[in-house]
Amino acid sequence: MKAIASSFVLLLSLFSQILLATGLFDDEIKIVGGKEAKSGAYPWEVSVGNLIKVPVKKRMRKLQHTKVKLASHFCGGVLLTHGWVLTAAHCITPFMDRTKVWASPPVGVGNAQHDLKKIYEEGRIPVKRIIVPKEYSEADPTTPGDLALLELQDPLLDAQPACFVQDEDGPFSPLTIIGWGNTERLFLDESTGKWSPPFKPARKLKEAAMKDVSLNEDTICSKRSDLICIDSAKPGDSSCKGDSGGSLVYKNNLVVGITSFGGAKKIGDHTYETCNGDAVYTRLSQYIDWIEENINDKVCIK
């Protein structure tokens, strides 16, 4: 898979913390720590993956190396209806012109028991159309509207659509993040744009408990109602590479946000430690009307 050149937004904040956002699909947020999710626990969670140079025939996909199968994943997603998926705009804008329709889609969506290897082998359903809010700006991934609607070429019938909270403002508790998490913290050399150590995705979907810190005065969420700020409930658990667009889960079965950008700590002249627990999610209650208008359908609200 050929990597798209990355772009990062580093915003200084308190306690030598920075907010980190990226448009590179190889370098999205994933989960460090946590534990493997039980099979079927989050039936709406999907993997958004690369279809470029992926074999069309299943028998050929099965022959690929496991590393290739795992690396095809670049973001998480939330099944809205059997024909529509929600993910983060910064995951998908490198592929689209807002509402472009492709003859040969480069992006697909899969579920397959939350196993990245099986998702690759079974084959992702191609995405035929993408819709992004007008207010979203690729130049600043922390801008409002970090959402993308993905219309599928064929319905994803073997997964259950998500349910959302429309009116509750929070703080939310309990909270869980889910994703196909990286296994350790990562370091970014800002001068070269390089990450270390090598990317190590988890094959199975993972989960970790979080706490809502949106009301804390030192967070961006204290000034923006369209975001939810979280921090780890247990030291060492964190969002990290590959989980952008994935679910923030309230009370085990309601999706209240999707991963937008995460925190990092400066540890050298040009080096930042990422995946430290704090992250920022797009608050979906602010966008229910926009979602339903654009998919021309209703989503589950509880």
The answer to whether residues 262 and 246 touch, using CB atoms and an 8 Å cutoff, is no
> Rounded distance, CA 281 to CA 228, Å?
5
pLDDT under 70: residue ranges of the chain? 1-34, 96-103, 181-183, 198-201, 238-239, 241, 276-277
Prediction pTM value? 0.85
Output phi, psi for 124, to 5 deg.
Answer: -80, 145
The answer to whether residues 275 and 32 touch, using CB atoms and an 8 Å cutoff, is yes
> Rounded distance, CA 240 to CA 244, Å?
9
Q: Residue 27 has what pLDDT?
A: 38
Q: Residue 2 has what pLDDT?
A: 25
77-107 confidence digits (pLDDT tens): 999 999 999 999 999 987 765 455 666 789 9
Q: Residue 58 has what pLDDT?
A: 97
Q: Residue 199 has what pLDDT?
A: 63
Output phi, psi for 182, to 5 deg.
Answer: -65, 150
| For the chain, domain boundaries | 43-161+287-301
123 Rama sector, left if φ>0, alpha if ψ -120 to 50, beta otherwise: left
Both tokens assigned to 12: 């200084």
Of the options 1.10.1660.10, 3.40.50.2000, 2.40.10.10, 3.40.50.300, the CATH number for the domain spanning 43-161+287-301: 2.40.10.10
Q: Residue 8 has what pLDDT?
A: 27
Q: Residue 30 has what pLDDT?
A: 45
Q: Residue 102 has what pLDDT?
A: 60
